[in-house]
Chain A
Amino acid sequence: MDTTATIKKQKGIENFFHTMFLIFGLFSIAFVLFITIFLVISGVPAITKIGFFKFIFGTKWASTASNPSFGILPFILTSVYGTCGALLVSVPVGIFCAAYLAKMAPGPVAAVVREAVDLLAGIPSVVYGLFGMIIIVPGVRKLFNLPDGANLFSATVVLAIMVLPSIISESETALRAVPKEYEEGSLALGATYTETIFKVTLPAARSGVLTSVILGTGRAIGEAMAVMMVAGNVANMPGIFRSVRFLTTAVASEMSYSSGLQRQALFSIALVLFFFIILINVVLRKLTSKGEVK
Chain B
Amino acid sequence: MTSVIETKDLNLWYGKHHALMDINIDIPEKQITALIGPSGCGKSTFLRTLNRMNDLIEDVKIDGKVLLKGEDINSMDVNVLRSRVGMVFQKANPFPMSVYDNIAYGPRILGIHKKKELDKIVETSLKQAAIWDECKGRLRTSALGMSGGQQQRLCIARTLAVKPEVLLLDESTSALDPVSTSKIEDLLLELKKKYTIIMVTHNMQQAARIADKTAFFLLGELIEYDDTEKIFSHPSDRRTEDYITGRFG
Taken residue by residue from 147 to 176, chain A's Cβ proximity to chain B (1 for < 8 Å, 0 otherwise) reads as 000000000000000000000000000000
User: How close is A182's CB to chain B, nearest CB, in angstroms?
Assistant: 6
- A182-B95, A200-B95, A204-B95 known; A188-B105 Cβ under 8 A: no
Interface residues on A, range: 10 to 19
Instruction: Give chain A residues whose Cβ lies under 8 Å from the Cβ of B110.
Output: 190
> Is B155 part of the contact surface with A, judged by Cβ < 8 Å?
yes
- A189-B83, A190-B83 known; A184-B142 Cβ under 8 A: no
B95 touches A191 (CB 8 A): no
A185 to B56, CA, bound (A): 13
Contact of A188 among B80, B82, B94, B97 (CB under 8 A): B82
Q: Which residue of B lies closest to A179 (CB)?
A: B93
> Is B162 part of the contact surface with A, judged by Cβ < 8 Å?
yes
Taken residue by residue from 203 to 226, chain A's Cβ proximity to chain B (1 for < 8 Å, 0 otherwise) reads as 110000000000000000000000
A204 touches B159 (CB 8 A): no
A190 to B109, CA, bound (A): 8
A203 to B98, CA, bound (A): 12
B82 touches A185 (CB 8 A): no
> Is A187 part of the contact surface with B, judged by Cβ < 8 Å?
yes
- A184-B53, A294-B142, A294-B144 known; A189-B109 Cβ under 8 A: yes
A294 to B95, CA, bound (A): 12
> Is A2 part of the contact surface with B, judged by Cβ < 8 Å?
no
Contact of A182 among B81, B93, B109, B162 (CB under 8 A): B93
Instruction: Give chain B residues whose Cβ lies under 8 Å from the Cβ of A199.
Output: 105, 109
Instruction: Give chain A residues whose Cβ lies under 8 Å from the Cβ of B53.
Output: 184, 187-188
Instruction: Give chain A residues whose Cβ lies under 8 Å from the Cβ of B158.
Output: 185, 189
User: How close is B6's CB to chain A, nearest CB, in angstroms?
Assistant: 21
> Is B173 part of the contact surface with A, judged by Cβ < 8 Å?
no
- A184-B89, A195-B109 known; A190-B95 Cβ under 8 A: no
A203 touches B97 (CB 8 A): yes
> Is B37 part of the contact surface with A, judged by Cβ < 8 Å?
no
Instruction: Give chain B residues whose Cβ lies under 8 Å from the Cβ of A181.
Output: 89, 91, 93
B96 touches A189 (CB 8 A): no
A189 to B78, CA, bound (A): 11
B142 touches A187 (CB 8 A): no
Contact of B80 among A190, A200, A203, A294 (CB under 8 A): A190
B106 touches A294 (CB 8 A): no
Taken residue by residue from 9 to 53, chain B's Cβ proximity to chain A (1 for < 8 Å, 0 otherwise) reads as 000000000000000000000000000000000000000000101
> Is B86 part of the contact surface with A, judged by Cβ < 8 Å?
yes
Q: Which residue of B lies closest to A190 (CB)?
A: B83
A191 to B81, CA, bound (A): 11
Instruction: Give chain B residues whose Cβ lies under 8 Å from the Cβ of A184.
Output: 53, 56, 89, 93
A21 to B152, CA, bound (A): 49
- A186-B105, A187-B53, A189-B162 known; A294-B96 Cβ under 8 A: yes
> Is A192 part of the contact surface with B, judged by Cβ < 8 Å?
yes
Instruction: Give chain A residues whose Cβ lies under 8 Å from the Cβ of B97.
Output: 203
> Is B87 part of the contact surface with A, judged by Cβ < 8 Å?
yes
Instruction: Give chain B residues whose Cβ lies under 8 Å from the Cβ of A182.
Output: 93, 95-96
A-B contact pairs, 16 of them (CB 8 A): A179-B93, A181-B93, A182-B96, A184-B89, A184-B93, A185-B158, A186-B95, A187-B82, A189-B83, A189-B109, A189-B158, A190-B83, A190-B109, A191-B105, A199-B105, A200-B95
| Known A187-B82, A188-B82; 6 more pairs at CB < 8 Å | A179-B93, A182-B93, A184-B56, A185-B94, A188-B87, A294-B142
